[in-house]
């Protein structure tokens, strides 16, 4: 490593430690930010010599990154950005902190995928899904797919692990090669994890025609784009690998969506040579991911935290949640997106028949939404009020990003 | 009303449904049913023919590509023009508002609109993103408009339409006026969705569609609280 990179890396670690000691954060961003100021190529220097996997998509990237790290851990030490700090400063911090490791699994914000591909030259990139998220500041969904596709054209040597069920991902993962210049399209391994949300992919990203769906199949009515045959498939409580062998997956994380994340993790690990039979038991050690799915016992209530940031992840959260009293909390601060219109993209009908409580900065937006959805609810001002309003037993908490962090803080920053 | 039930058509949810646009259809249908009106909501996708005999047509927001495609297909279909000629109500939001005009810009190209409203849209220097508020045209007799806007366009009104509102916060058409209306056609940049944040506007569309001069009042406790909270937030941001 060049001297400048060594200094930057060392300063980066010190700043992260200071940030943690001062109680100002978990140090997962600030150290990397300072390091990159000293050496803009620090991320590239820290990546050199490691076999790296990147994990990107709108939803599930933090959890999939955690599961993938567990699976790749079969081979040796893995550096990872486990607190969801998923921009280059977070990657830099994570790699500097981990020291020398043979492997790294990095969660990447979908907007930064091109830049991080460039800096880290990964062995594998996992593309999970693309759907609407924070439209007041994020790129439009189709534009995001276009950016991914353009980035992969420049990195045709990377091995891609991608979701066969998401038309935008399939299109992004299959840029045309250029035989005249000897450029082959990237090698893609497809997984099928199911996709509950379809409302961003009715129109073909290639030709603008309508996309038809029947069961798990989808195809464009105007061009050859269609669902590729997946190599890795979720089946019952397990995963079918490309050889046709079925592996039972016992997760401590709820929901079918996490079985899909587990299939993805096994597929990515397989690209490093990890056999699923060796990795599958390690997936069961993951209990919660930066507070997501964490369970806390307080005042006789067993509180479970589910993060839902956008319409697609709300649908998944309803699938995971037990039939139990449920607290919904919505904010619309900068990290959440300022526009709450997306509440109408979510059908809250699955909550009918449950005791529903609402809170958060934007509880009134939620109130109007639930009213139209014929879901009775009770508005509470504080988390403690919510606790007092439900009987002992399970309380499911579903919240968007900053609302989730607020409740996590009430529970002593549970991880 | 054209038949025994109120027919609401949501135009092209596959293309024009970016900002919770389904909400406008849900709110209209619910407020009609609460008054005892039978309601039928039809979602017409862009590969389907548009029925010309519905009472209310909703055109939602969309990204540039879908907006241009939606306008092309509506022009080719002709159903919306026939419906307007027969006196149907049309409510357009954001991209759906722009495409009711004579022209708009998508992906840097000027596109032909439906020419149902005398207005044209071009690109502003910056994107308008944030809370939008305004005093609505007094002839419509509605309380202040509240919403959230997110668009790169600026809309210039011709003499045949009236502004929906005079802007008190945000940008709207051009920083001074917001939205437009003529006859039973009305467009706005407000999401929220617009009819969730402005139930009186939903009732105006229902009155236009049914010919009723008045509708029985509904319990709008939560909408009122939402409106008050948003008004305070806008005032606090300005202070």
Domains in chain B: boundaries: 6-238
- What is the per-residue pLDDT for A41? 86
Tell me, yes or no, whether A233 and A302 share the same domain. Answer: no
**Quick count: other Cβ atoms within 10 Å of Cβ B199?**
22
| Cα–Cα distance measured from residue A152 to residue A162, given in angstroms and rounded to the nearest whole number | 12
Q: How many helices (H) and strands (E) does chain A have?
A: 14, 17
Residue-range definition of the domain harbouring residue A385: 295-410
Residue A364 in domain: yes
Q: Partners of A395 in the beta sheet?
A: A303
Q: Is A100 helix (H, G, I), strand (E, B) or coil?
A: coil
- What is the per-residue pLDDT for A19? 59
**Quick count: other Cβ atoms within 10 Å of Cβ A385?**
14
Out of A228, A249, A283, pick the residue that ends a domain. Answer: A283
- What is the per-residue pLDDT for A135? 62
Task: Give the pLDDT mean for A99-112.
Answer: 95
H helix runs in A243-310, sequence order: 256-271, 276-283
Is B94 one of the annotated active-site residues of the chain? yes
| Average pLDDT along chain A | 89
Task: Give the pLDDT mean for A285-290.
Answer: 86
Q: Are B184 and B87 in contact (CB under 8 A)?
A: yes
Using an 8 Å CB-CB cutoff, list chain B residues near A143. Answer: 63
- What is the per-residue pLDDT for A18? 53
Out of A283, A306, A331, pick the residue that ends a domain. Answer: A283
What CATH number should be reported for the domain holding residue A205?
3.40.1190.10
Which of A330, A331, A340, A328 has the alpha carbon at shortest distance from A376?
Answer: A328
pLDDT at A25 > cutoff 60: no
Using an 8 Å CB-CB cutoff, list chain B residues near A130. Answer: none
> Residue A82: pLDDT band by 50, 70, 90 thresholds?
confident
Chain A / chain B CB contacts < 8 angstroms? 88
> Residue A26: pLDDT band by 50, 70, 90 thresholds?
low
Is B81 one of the annotated active-site residues of the chain? no
Q: Tokens for A272, please give them.
A: 């490093």
Tell me, yes or no, whether A273 and A332 share the same domain. Answer: no
Q: Are A371 and B23 in contact (CB under 8 A)?
A: no
| Cα–Cα distance measured from residue A133 to residue A23, given in angstroms and rounded to the nearest whole number | 30
pLDDT 10s digits, A192-248? 987 777 878 888 889 888 899 999 999 999 999 999 999 999 999 999 999 999 999
Q: How far is B82 from chain A (nearest CA, A)?
A: 25
CB-based burial, B46-74: b 16+ in 10 Å, e otherwise: beeebebebbbbbbbbbbbbbbbbbbebb
- What is the per-residue pLDDT for A27? 61
Q: Are A339 and B230 in contact (CB under 8 A)?
A: no
> Residue A5: pLDDT band by 50, 70, 90 thresholds?
confident
H helix runs in A100-192, sequence order: 113-120, 141-153, 167-173
Q: Are A193 and A187 in contact (CB under 8 A)?
A: no
Tell me, yes or no, whether A251 and A301 share the same domain. Answer: no
pLDDT 10s digits, A379-402? 999 999 999 999 999 999 999 999
Q: Which region among A130-134, A389-393, B125-129, B225-229 has the lowest average model confidence (pLDDT)?
A: A130-134
| Cα–Cα distance measured from residue B187 to residue B164, given in angstroms and rounded to the nearest whole number | 8
Tell me, yes or no, whether A327 and A217 share the same domain. Answer: no
What CATH number should be reported for the domain holding residue A363?
3.90.190.20
CA B173 to each of CA A194, B111, B152, B162, B164: distance values in angstroms, whole numbers, following the listed order:
42, 18, 10, 12, 10
Tell me, yes or no, whether A268 and A313 share the same domain. Answer: no
Partner A contacted by B188 (CB < 8 A):
no
Task: Give the pLDDT mean for B215-220.
Answer: 96
Ranked by mean pLDDT, the top range of A133-137, A156-160, A176-180, A271-275 is: A271-275
Q: What are phi and psi of B170, to 5 degrees?
A: 95, -160
For A221, which residue in chain B has the nearest alpha carbon?
Answer: B47
CA A263 to each of CA A22, A280, B115: distance values in angstroms, whole numbers, following the listed order:
39, 9, 51
Residue corresponding to tokens 């990515």: A268
Using an 8 Å CB-CB cutoff, list chain A residues near B129. Answer: 136-137, 338
pLDDT at B118 > cutoff 60: yes
- What is the per-residue pLDDT for A348? 96
Using an 8 Å CB-CB cutoff, list chain A residues near B226. Answer: 364-365, 367-368
Contact B20 A343 (CB under 8 A): yes
- What is the per-residue pLDDT for A353? 95
| Cα–Cα distance measured from residue A80 to residue A94, given in angstroms and rounded to the nearest whole number | 6
Using an 8 Å CB-CB cutoff, list chain A residues near B26. Answer: 344, 372-373
- What is the per-residue pLDDT for B191? 92
- What is the per-residue pLDDT for A12? 67
Residue B160 burial class via C-beta count within 10 angstroms: exposed 0-12, middle 13-18, buried 19 and up: exposed
Contact A338 B47 (CB under 8 A): no
CA A216 to each of CA A12, A129, A165: distance values in angstroms, whole numbers, following the listed order:
47, 15, 7
pLDDT at B108 > cutoff 90: no
- What is the per-residue pLDDT for A402? 94
pLDDT 10s digits, B149-167? 999 999 999 999 999 999 9
**Quick count: other Cβ atoms within 10 Å of Cβ A173?**
25
Q: How far is B160 from chain A (nearest CA, A)?
A: 31
Do the bridges between strand A217-220 and strand A51-56 make them parallel or antiparallel, or are there none, so unpaired? unpaired
pLDDT 10s digits, B65-94? 889 999 999 999 999 999 999 999 999 999
Residues 6+ apart with CB under 8 A from A334: A137
Can you list the positions of beta strands (E) in A299-353? 301-307, 326-329
Q: Which region among A5-19, A47-61, A319-333, A391-405 has the lowest average model confidence (pLDDT)?
A: A5-19
Residue A289 in domain: no
| Cα–Cα distance measured from residue B205 to residue A49, given in angstroms and rounded to the nearest whole number | 65
| Cα–Cα distance measured from residue A380 to residue A365, given in angstroms and rounded to the nearest whole number | 14
- What is the per-residue pLDDT for A232? 97
Tell me, yes or no, whether A72 and A116 share the same domain. Answer: yes
Among B81, B111, B156, B191, the active-site one is: B191
Tell me, yes or no, whether A152 and A208 share the same domain. Answer: yes
- What is the per-residue pLDDT for B238? 82
Residue corresponding to tokens 């032909």: B112
Residue A184 in domain: yes
Residue corresponding to tokens 């050889």: A243
Residue corresponding to tokens 């996309």: A211
* Interface residues on A facing B, Cβ-Cβ cutoff 8 A: 132, 135-137, 140-143, 199, 202-203, 208, 210, 221, 338-345, 364-365, 367-369, 371-373
Contact A369 B196 (CB under 8 A): yes
Tell me, yes or no, whether A118 and A258 share the same domain. Answer: yes
Using an 8 Å CB-CB cutoff, list chain B residues near A314. Answer: none
Q: What is the 3-state secondary structure (H, E, C) of chain B?
A: CCCCCEEEEEECCCCCCCCCCHHHHHHHHHHHHHCCCCEEEEEECCCCCCCCCCCEEEECCCCHHHHHHHHHHHHHHCHHHHHHHCCCEEEEECHHHHCCCCEEEECCEEEECCCCCCEEEEEEEEEEEEEEEEEECHHHCCCCEEEEEEEEEEEEECCCCEEEEEEEECCCCCCCEEEEEECCEEEECCECCHHHHCHHHHHHHHHHHHCCCCCCCCCCHHHHHHHHHHHHHHHHHHC
Residues of A with catalytic roles? 339
Across the interface, of A202, A367, A371, the residue whose CB is closest to B14 is: A202
Task: Give the pLDDT mean for A56-85.
Answer: 92
Task: Give the pLDDT mean for A245-271.
Answer: 95
Which of B217, B223, B157 has the alpha carbon at shortest distance from B192?
Answer: B223
Per the annotation, does A166 bind a ligand?
A: no
Q: How far is A374 from chain B (nearest CA, A)?
A: 10
How many distinct structural domains can be found in chain A?
Answer: 2
Residue A415 in domain: no
Residue A349 in domain: yes
Partner A contacted by B33 (CB < 8 A):
no
| Average pLDDT along chain B | 95
| Cα–Cα distance measured from residue B211 to residue A102, given in angstroms and rounded to the nearest whole number | 73
Out of A258, A283, A308, pick the residue that ends a domain. Answer: A283
Task: Give the pLDDT mean for A300-320.
Answer: 91
For B193, which residue in chain A has the nearest alpha carbon?
Answer: A341
Do the bridges between strand A246-248 and strand B56-59 make them parallel or antiparallel, or are there none, so unpaired? unpaired
Phi/psi-derived region of residue B110, left when phi > 0, alpha when psi is between -120 and 50, beta in every other case: beta
Tell me, yes or no, whether A163 and A249 share the same domain. Answer: yes
- What is the per-residue pLDDT for A28? 65
CATH class of B6-238: alpha beta
Task: Give the pLDDT mean for B139-147.
Answer: 98
- What is the per-residue pLDDT for A156? 84
Using an 8 Å CB-CB cutoff, list chain A residues near B47. Answer: 210, 221
Partner A contacted by B196 (CB < 8 A):
yes
Ranked by mean pLDDT, the top range of A285-294, A404-413, B109-118 is: B109-118
Tell me, yes or no, whether A27 and A128 share the same domain. Answer: yes
Q: Tokens for B19, please give them.
A: 């900002």
Percent of chain A with pLDDT over 90: 68
Q: Are A187 and A159 in contact (CB under 8 A)?
A: yes
CB-based burial, A144-153: b 16+ in 10 Å, e otherwise: bbbebbebbe
Q: How far is A231 from chain B (nearest CA, A)?
A: 29
> Residue A255: pLDDT band by 50, 70, 90 thresholds?
confident
Contact B14 A338 (CB under 8 A): no
Contact A342 B20 (CB under 8 A): yes
User: Dihedral, CA atoms, A313, A319, A323, A328, nearest 10 degrees?
Assistant: 10
Tell me, yes or no, whether A392 and A256 share the same domain. Answer: no
Tell me, yes or no, whether A193 and A325 share the same domain. Answer: no
Contact B65 A208 (CB under 8 A): yes
Partner A contacted by B32 (CB < 8 A):
no
Structure ipTM over 0.90, yes or no: yes
pTM of the predicted protein model: 0.86
Per the annotation, does A23 bind a ligand?
A: no
Please name the residues between 100 and 119 in chain B that touch chain A, using a CB distance below 8 Å: none
């Amino acid at each position: 490593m060049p001297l400048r990179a060594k200094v930057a890396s060392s300063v980066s670690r010190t700043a992260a430690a200071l940030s943690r000691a001062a109680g100002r954060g978990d140090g997962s961003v600030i150290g990397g930010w300072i390091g990159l100021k000293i050496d803009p190529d620090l991320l590239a220097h820290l990546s050199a010599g490691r076999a790296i996997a990147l994990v990107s998509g709108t939803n599930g990237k933090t959890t999939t990154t955690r599961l993938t790290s567990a699976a790749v851990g079969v081979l040796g030490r893995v550096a990872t950005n486990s607190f969801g700090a998923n921009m280059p400063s977070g990657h830099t911090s994570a790699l500097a902190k981990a020291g020398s490791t043979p492997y790294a699994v990095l969660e990447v914000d979908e907007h930064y995928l091109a830049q991080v591909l460039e800096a880290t030259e990964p062995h594998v990139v996992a593309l999970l899904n693309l759907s609407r998220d924070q439209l007041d500041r994020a790129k439009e969904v189709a534009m995001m797919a276009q950016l991914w596709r353009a980035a992969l054209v420049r990195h045709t040597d990377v091995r891609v692990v991608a979701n066969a069920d998401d038309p935008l991902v399939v299109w992004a993962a299959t840029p045309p090669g250029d035989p005249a210049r000897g450029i082959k399209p990237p090698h893609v391994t497809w997984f099928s994890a199911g996709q509950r949300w379809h409302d961003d992919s009715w129109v073909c990203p290639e030709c603008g025609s309508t996309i038809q769906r029947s069961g798990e199949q989808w195809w464009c009515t105007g061009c050859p784009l269609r669902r590729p045959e997946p190599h890795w498939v979720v089946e019952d409580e397990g995963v079918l690998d490309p050889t046709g062998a079925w592996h039972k997956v016992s997760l401590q994380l709820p929901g079918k969506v996490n079985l899909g994340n587990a299939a993805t993790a096994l597929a990515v690990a397989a690209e490093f040579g990890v056999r699923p039979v060796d990795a599958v038991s390690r997936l069961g050690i993951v209990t919660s991911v930066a507070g997501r799915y964490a369970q806390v016992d307080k005042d006789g209530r067993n509180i479970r935290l589910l993060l839902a940031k956008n319409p697609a992840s709300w649908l998944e959260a309803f699938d995971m949640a037990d039939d139990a009293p449920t607290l919904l909390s919505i904010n619309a601060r900068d990290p959440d997106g300022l526009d709450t219109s997306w509440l109408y993209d979510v059908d809250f009908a699955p909550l009918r028949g449950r005791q529903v409580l609402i809170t958060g900065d934007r509880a009134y937006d939620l109130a109007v939404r639930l009213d139209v959805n014929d879901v009775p609810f009770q508005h509470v001002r504080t988390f403690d009020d919510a606790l007092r309003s439900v009987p002992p037993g399970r309380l499911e908490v579903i919240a968007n990003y900053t609302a989730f962090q607020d409740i996590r803080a009430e529970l002593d920053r549970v991880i | 009303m054209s038949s025994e039930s109120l027919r609401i058509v949501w135009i092209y949810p596959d293309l024009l449904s970016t900002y919770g646009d389904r909400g406008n259809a849900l709110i209209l249908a619910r407020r009609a049913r609460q008054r005892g009106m039978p309601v039928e909501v039809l979602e017409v996708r862009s590969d389907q023919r548009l029925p010309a005999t519905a009472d209310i047509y909703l055109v939602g927001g969309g990204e540039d590509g879908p907006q241009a495609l939606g306008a092309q297909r509506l022009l080719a279909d002709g159903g919306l023009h026939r419906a307007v000629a027969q006196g149907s109500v049309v409510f357009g939001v954001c991209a759906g508002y722009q495409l009711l005009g004579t022209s708009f810009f998508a992906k840097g190209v000027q596109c032909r609109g439906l020419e149902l409203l005398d207005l044209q849209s071009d690109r502003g220097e910056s994107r308008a993103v944030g809370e939008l508020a305004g005093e609505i045209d007094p002839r419509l007799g509605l309380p202040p408009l509240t919403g959230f806007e997110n668009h790169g366009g600026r809309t210039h009104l011709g003499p045949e339409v009236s502004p929906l509102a005079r802007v008190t916060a945000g940008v709207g058409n051009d920083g001074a006026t917001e939205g437009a209306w003529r006859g039973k056609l009305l467009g706005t940049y407000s999401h929220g969705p617009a009819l969730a944040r402005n139930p009186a506007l939903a009732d105006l569309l229902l009155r236009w569609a049914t010919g009723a001069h008045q509708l029985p009042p509904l319990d709008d406790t939560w909408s009122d609280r939402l409106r008050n909270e948003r008004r305070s937030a806008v005032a606090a941001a300005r202070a």
